[in-house]
């Protein structure tokens, strides 16, 4: 197991303080604010630990304030409903006495039903794409400094973008992007861990689908960029340590916000999850 994956699993293993109260922490890697996907994943873990024998099928969350990586995050779970088939939980993430994130999650018993799914887009497989190390060797000199440093850092999730040009140019116009992702090391067999890791990685690159339409990225210093909300639906079993295709598009942006959505497929083409997100895309005062 890679050090980064081991650290992520440790951070996702929340400390139980009381019956419905948990405490999490952030990796100390010099970030100015907590990564949104980490808060989503930890809130899901907290909510799931108050539910017996029912996996989550959807979650909806709002980012309220930037998280402070220097202090722990307290997660308070409210047991909204325990029905015959469905269970509902609300979870607030709290720092410095204020909520920084609010999550609603729904859980369901396993049961059969009608089934269909759209096919996976025809894109190059991850084995045919350059690794992150190869990307740095081939395109590092053309990448903006912030993107090059991000790819060079050890991380728990490996990315293989289908369209490498998005990371080395500022060409506008494309409203779709495809990225292969997986954990950089093997994960335990517990499906709850794989769902938490998927929640973590589902916040990665998604807003770039909206920013890329205008020739920008989350690394642009002339923009104020932040996730505003996040929604995730789990459809089928999967492993987050195997390659997953994140097919993303952005149907709209305006009023300093960009909307993006994504479909996540397993390597063998099964649709395993859907994601939607809106983010702040505000030019900074005086920026051009």
Query: So which residues are the catalytic ones?
Result: 203, 227, 277
Neighbouring C-beta atoms of residue 254, cutoff 10 Å: 8
Whole-number Å distance between alpha carbons of 101 and 92: 6
Neighbouring C-beta atoms of residue 179, cutoff 10 Å: 25
Whole-number Å distance between alpha carbons of 50 and 80: 11
Q: Which residues contact 62 (CB under 8 A, 6 or more apart)?
A: 101, 102, 228, 229
Taking the alpha carbons at both ends of the chain, their separation in whole angstroms is 44
User: How far from 115 is each of 58, 151, 236, CA to CA, in Å?
Assistant: 17, 38, 11
Alpha carbon 44 to its chain's center: 12
Report which of 226, 238, 247 is spatially closest to residue 62, judged by C-alpha positions: 226
Q: Assess contact for 77 and 20: CB atoms under 8 A.
A: yes
Instruction: Write down the residue that tokens 């939607």 correspond to.
Output: 276
Diameter of the chain by CA atoms?
58
DSSP state of 207: T
């Amino acid at each position: 197991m890679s050090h980064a994956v081991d650290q992520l699993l440790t951070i996702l293993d929340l400390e139980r303080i009381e019956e419905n109260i948990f405490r999490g922490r952030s990796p100390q890697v010099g970030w100015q604010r907590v990564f949104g996907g980490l808060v989503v994943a930890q809130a899901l873990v907290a909510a799931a630990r108050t539910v017996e024998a029912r996996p989550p099928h959807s979650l909806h969350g709002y980012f309220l304030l930037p998280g402070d990586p220097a202090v722990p995050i307290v997660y308070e779970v409210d047991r909204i409903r325990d029905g015959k088939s469905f269970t509902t939980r609300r979870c607030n993430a709290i720092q410095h006495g204020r909520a920084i994130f609010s999550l609603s999650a729904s859980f369901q018993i396993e049961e059969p039903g009608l089934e269909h799914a759209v096919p996976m887009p025809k894109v190059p497989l991850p084995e045919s794409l350059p690794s992150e190390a190869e990307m740095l060797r081939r395109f590092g000199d053309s990448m903006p400094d912030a993107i090059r440093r991000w790819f060079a850092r050890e991380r728990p999730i490996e990315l293989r973008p289908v369209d490498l040009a998005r990371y080395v140019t500022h060409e506008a116009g494309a409203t779709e992007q495809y990225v292969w992702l997986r954990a950089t090391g093997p994960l335990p067999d517990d499906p709850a861990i794989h769902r938490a890791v998927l929640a973590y990685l589902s916040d990665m690159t998604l807003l770039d689908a909206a920013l890329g339409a205008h020739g920008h990225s989350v690394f642009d210093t002339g923009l104020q960029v932040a996730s505003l909300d996040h929604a995730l639906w789990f459809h089928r079993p999967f492993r987050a340590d195997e390659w997953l295709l994140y097919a993303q598009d952005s149907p709209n942006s305006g009023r300093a916000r960009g909307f993006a959505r994504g479909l996540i497929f397993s390597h063998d083409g099964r649709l395993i999850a859907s994601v939607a997100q809106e983010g702040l895309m505000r030019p900074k005062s005086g920026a051009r």
